[in-house]
Amino acid sequence: MTGLAAVQARIAELQSLVAPAPASSSVAPSSAGADFASALTDASALLDPTSAPAPTDAPAPTTVPPTPVPPADLPATGEGIAPGTGLTGQDLVDAAERYLGTPYVWGGESLDEGGLDCSGLVLRALTDLGVEGVPRVARDQQQLGERVPSLDQAQPGDLLVFDGGSHIAIYVGDGRMIDAPKPGGHVSVRDVYEEPTNIRRILPQEQTLSADLSTLSTASPLASLSSLSSLSSLSSLSSLSPLPASSLSSSGPLSAAGVSTAAAQTQWQVLASLMGGAA
C-alpha cells in the first residue's frame, strides 16, 4: 500500500470514529478526540518520516577520542638542535643551574614574569645559549632532538618528559634532574622520581666533540710535529764531554780516524745543544 493510500484509509477510519455513535455505544467523546489526535499524528508521520519524534530510549551519540600519536624520531645526526655552535649537553645543564631557587610560576618563561614553569626553564636555558626556535610547551619540546631508549642511557643535558608531556626536566646525571616542579616550589636539582615517558637528546656530549677534535688534529700536517718528542732523548748527548786534549797529538798530524771521530762528536754536540735549547 502506497503512502497516499494509507493516508486515505486512515482518514476513512477517522471519519467513522467521529460519526454520531448509537445510543448503546459506550465510547466517550473525550476518548474519540484523543484517538483522532493520535491518528492525525500517525498520518503526518507517514507523509513526512523526518517529522516523527525520536525514540526516547535511543542511546546518545558518543565521541571516540583520537588515539594519541607518539612523537616522531628525527634522524640521528649527532649534531643536536644547534649544529656548528659547539654547544654540549653540559652547557645546557650549566645554563639551567643559573636559575636554581627561582620560584615556580605557571606560564613563566623569564624572571620578568616572576618565575618559570617547567617548560619555561627549558626554553630560558636554551635561549640563554643562543638557540632559537625552541617550542614553548613541553608537548612540543618533546619533539626536539633524538629519542633515547631508557633512563640508563640518558646523559647530562637530555630532556626528560613525564606523563606524555605534562612535565619536563633536564637530566644532570647520576639519576638526578633539574626542573621547576610545581606551584609553591622552586627550580631545584632532585632525584628522577619515575621512569620518563620520553627522553630526548638535543645536544651532543663533550666526549663526542673531543673525539671530533682528535680526528681533526690527526688529519692535520702539524700532527707530524708530535714525532719530535721522541728526539728528546737526544738531549742526553749534551752530557758527552769533549775529546781530551791529550788525545790530540801536537807533535804530528792527526790520523784520518782521529779527524773523523772528532768531527762526528762535534756534530753530535751541536745537535744536542740545539735540542736542549728547543726544550
Fold of 89-205: endopeptidase fold (from Nostoc punctiforme) (3.90.1720)
pLDDT per position in the chain (279 positions), as tens? 566 777 777 777 777 766 655 555 444 455 555 566 666 666 555 555 555 455 555 455 555 555 444 444 444 445 689 888 999 999 999 999 999 999 999 999 999 999 999 999 999 999 999 999 999 999 999 999 999 999 999 999 999 999 999 999 999 999 999 999 999 999 999 999 999 999 999 999 876 445 555 555 555 444 444 444 444 444 444 444 454 544 444 444 444 455 456 666 767 676 666 666 554
pLDDT score for 23: 52
**Host H or E run for residue 124:** helix 118-128
pLDDT score for 273: 67
pLDDT score for 6: 74
- Cα-based angle 230, 232, 238 (whole degrees, multiple of 5): 145
pLDDT score for 80: 82
**Phi and psi based region of residue 133 (left: phi greater than 0; alpha: psi -120 to 50; beta: remaining):** left
Query: Where in the sequence of the chain do the CATH 3.90.1720.10 domains occur?
Result: 89-205
CA–CA separation, 125 and 169 (whole Å): 12
* pLDDT tens column, 165-197: 999 999 999 999 999 999 999 999 999 999 999
* pLDDT tens column, 214-259: 555 555 444 444 444 444 444 444 444 454 544 444 444 444 455 4
Class of residue 101 by CB neighbours under 10 A (exposed 0-12, middle 13-18, buried 19+): exposed
Class of residue 2 by CB neighbours under 10 A (exposed 0-12, middle 13-18, buried 19+): exposed
204 CB-side CA count, 13 A: 18
Please report the sign of the dihedral spanned by the C-alpha atoms of residue 27, residue 28, residue 31, residue 33: positive
pLDDT score for 115: 96
CA–CA separation, 147 and 75 (whole Å): 10
Cell readout for 61 is 551519540
**Phi, psi dihedrals of residue 189, rounded to the nearest 5°:** -100, 125
pLDDT score for 109: 93
Rg (CA), the chain: 47
